[in-house]
Copies of this chain bind each other. A is one copy, B any other.
Amino acid sequence: MSGKTTRDHIVEEADQLFYQRGYEHTSFSDIAETMQISRGNFYYHFRTKDEILDAVLGYRLANTRAMLDRWEAEGGHPADRIRSFIHILITNRAKIMLYGCPVGSLCNELAKLDHGAQAQANEIFTLFRGWLRRQFALLGRKADADALAMHLLARSQGVATLANAFRDEGFIRREAEQMCNWLDAQCTGKRRTK
């Protein structure tokens, strides 16, 4: 159990259910039922699905932050770090083909529900955006670093959506390679080929 609390286990379980089935389709009872604990114990930790969502979003944000910190520490050159970002499409391809991107799909679902947690969910995108922006600035592209960050985020999101619809691993690999080539072109110091 590696020091994890019951609350941690509930959050991890809900995180997967929200991702795999969608937030709306996952009921409070669904989450409670997958846990091998008493109802009383479950309710002690969470009283509503919104409370669980709040905890899941905090969990995802913390995980994303830790991942970005790791890429930053491991990648000596900003371009290597950005390549780590591009490669999550390949690393997570099996789940992406089944369920799409966990960030994009949840943000879109919460927007349709006009849910109060939209801003919190979008923070994960903002985290990626700020991190990518910083890497592009370090590459000497300070003036358009934010536009480059948004461009790459969008390409990554689009690949996830179509990979999910067509279940096409070759497509993911091809697009990831093109993104890396695009990145190389940005590193040459020239204005980007639009």
Please list the residues of chain A having a beta carbon within 8 angstroms of any beta carbon in chain B: 20-22, 24-25, 98-100, 104-105, 107-109, 111-113, 122, 125, 147, 150-151, 153-159, 161-162, 164-166, 171, 174-175, 177-178, 181-182, 185, 193-194
Assess whether A154 is in contact with B147, with CB atoms less than 8 Å apart. no
Given A22-B24, A25-B112, A112-B99, decide whether A157 and B162 contact each other with a Cβ distance below 8 A.
Answer: yes
Assess whether B125 is in contact with A111, with CB atoms less than 8 Å apart. no
Given A151-B178, A193-B193, decide whether A104 and B25 contact each other with a Cβ distance below 8 A.
Answer: no
**20 A-B pairs in the complex with CB atoms less than 8 angstroms apart:** A22-B24, A22-B113, A25-B113, A99-B108, A99-B112, A105-B112, A107-B165, A108-B108, A111-B164, A122-B165, A122-B166, A125-B162, A125-B166, A150-B162, A150-B171, A154-B158, A154-B161, A182-B194, A185-B193, A193-B193
Distance to closest chain B CB from A155 (angstroms): 5
How often does this chain occur in the complex, in copies? 2
Residues in B whose Cβ lies below 8 Å from that of A166: 122, 125, 150
Assess whether B122 is in contact with A99, with CB atoms less than 8 Å apart. no
Residues in B whose Cβ lies below 8 Å from that of A22: 24, 109, 112-113
Residue of B nearest to A168 (CB): B150
Known A-B contacts: A107-B165, A108-B164. Give 10 more (CB < 8 A): A22-B109, A22-B112, A99-B111, A99-B112, A100-B108, A104-B165, A109-B109, A122-B165, A156-B158, A157-B158
